[in-house]
A and B are shown apart, each in its own frame.
Chain A
Amino acid sequence: MTFELRGRGIVPGRAEGEALVSRETISGWGGIDPATGTVIERRHELFGVCFTGKVLVFPGAKGSSGWSGFFQSTRLLGTAPLAMVFTTLSTKSALGAVVTRVPAVSELDRDPVEAIRTGDWVVVDADSGVVTVTSR
């Protein structure tokens, strides 16, 4: 089954790949390790999971104002996600997506965390704001 979500492009560009969905918000500082591209927050559902090369789908950013700097480091260290699709836009997630320099879409007509499942194939077209999901 294939369906579309429509939103606003936050960082332009197009990418496609496998989804990694987090139902919990993600921390930058204290939440991820840029050297390995993994979530390191002990009580997080994705603890130990690597997001490198995945379309990261998450509700939003939480925690320290270091969020964007940590995701910028994933780009500089080659561990960044392929694209970002997130529910709630804030300065942390917006600047984080900008400095990670991957296609990003938010402000969608459906909550992407509810609609997309880990492993789904996702085409993120941030130029048009359309996210096309093919469920596995």
Chain B
Amino acid sequence: MRLADDEKAMLDGAEGPAVAAAMDLLVRYGEALGAARLCDTRNVAGTMTQPSPVKARLVREHGWDKAFSVINLDSDGDFPMPRMRVPMCQLQHGFGDDALGVAPYPAEMVALQGDAEAFYAGHGVNILATCTPYQVGNLPVRGEHVAWMESSAVVYANSVLGARTNCEGGASTGAAGLTGKIPCWGNHLAENRHGTHLIEAGVPVEGFLDWGMFGYFVGDVVQENRPVVTGDLRQPDLADLKHFGAATASSGGVELYHIPGVTPEAPTLEAAFGGRPVPEKVTYGERERRAVYETLNNQGESADVDFVLLGCPHASLDQIARAARALEGRRLHPGTELWIMTPRALRSVADRNGYTEIIRRAGGQVLTDSCPAMSRSAPEGTRVFATDSAKQAHYLPAILGIEAWFGTLEECVDAAVTGTWRGELR
């Protein structure tokens, strides 16, 4: 890999040992990838504050500087951590203090995360604390090279925004934050951004549920490849594409898709394939739609729902408003809890608009920062949960050993109010 003069200087220690360690990691990583060079970035989204046993021990024995060096720079050193060189944000992490007394989650982890927030905020990290930074002020522009983690955010940034990022990790984002550099490989290169597969919807794809199911189908078909989706697609909104992308990155490993006429790099079908021959299409019809629904619901046996989870990826303001409308004047079943996960910045708007109060009066909770999968925590004694998220239905049964139902927001609210799952595919 060829290094530019400023990169060589960083590697040689001109900006101190932490930056040198960061550049050393980027060189090892870039060479592992076979990258020709690094590119400049001014937008990094990573994870530093999430509690873990390894981190807790490092902090206890050596402090936060050492924990950052070991985990986020992959270095054995113990360097004073400088301020981030470029804008950087913290993605979702563990539960915060708003979940104390609600989620069965250790108070010492909340405290450790509180310390982490203070440390990293002081070093230039914006604590957005969400899997959807694009909902709360981190909105890269088309063509911008960014370095993001979180599969659902990566696919949104590449596909919906036309920004360029690979699916980064904790060490590469830590190093990118200190250097403003990331290997110029994969999705950063224009020639790697054209479609590889064509999937055509033969049934209408409209609304949150159907965009999620369609995404789950697409991810399963293409795995790590780049799908172009066409057919009877009705105009999606932010929440629809947030769900669609997260689903493609759950059943598969999609980091970039195109919807001709909707997403920015695909004005036409031909453009989506970069002028190369359009491959044979795979059809998503009524039978495939039903098969996806059944797959997402094959982890449920008991219709007695203890727990309803909305907001994966973190809910938009519109989704919170819809949940509040569905819950207004109603009361949750005594044996059932309902949580909606959202970024803290949006919760403050939800508070202001009265949505939080409506949801609380019904017995539900608007929580922030995390989710049951990330924090491995659901209400005590949960055996059966219901969700409107294909991603959460995919992951949570394996993570917590519980049953799952998947349906619309309204079906989930109905289950929360009656304690019984009555969803069906319409």
Contact = CB atoms under 8 A, between A and B. Distances in A.
Contacts of A107: 34
Interface residues of B, number: 32
Interface string A94-105: 111111010010
A42 B169 CA distance: 24
Contacts, number: 88
Interface string B150-174: 1100100000000000111111100
Given A65-B150, A72-B74, A99-B74, A94 B54 contact: no
Contacts of A65: 149-151, 154, 167-169
A90 B32 contact: no
Contacts of A10: 32
A10 to B, nearest CB: 5
B151 A69 contact: no
B170 A30 contact: no
A93 B25 CA distance: 15
> Chain B's interface: helix, strand, loop or mixed, by majority?
helix
A52 interface: no
B119 interface: no
Interface string B381-406: 00000000000000100110000000
> Of residues A11, A34, A69, A89, which shows the largest number of chain B Cβ atoms within 10 Å of its Cβ?
A69
A35 interface: yes
Given A64-B151, A73-B54, A98 B167 contact: no
A90 B166 CA distance: 9
B353 interface: no
Interface in A111-127: none
Given A42-B398, A72-B170, 19 more contacts: A30-B373, A66-B149, A66-B170, A68-B171, A69-B47, A69-B71, A69-B170, A69-B171, A77-B54, A89-B33, A91-B168, A92-B169, A95-B172, A96-B169, A97-B32, A98-B29, A98-B32, A98-B74, A101-B74
Interface of B: 25, 28-29, 32-34, 47, 52-54, 70-71, 74, 149-151, 154, 166-172, 185-186, 224, 253, 373, 395, 398-399
25 contacts: A11-B32, A30-B395, A30-B399, A34-B54, A43-B398, A62-B253, A66-B47, A68-B170, A68-B171, A69-B47, A69-B169, A76-B54, A76-B70, A89-B34, A90-B167, A90-B186, A91-B167, A91-B185, A94-B32, A94-B33, A95-B171, A95-B172, A96-B169, A98-B28, A101-B74
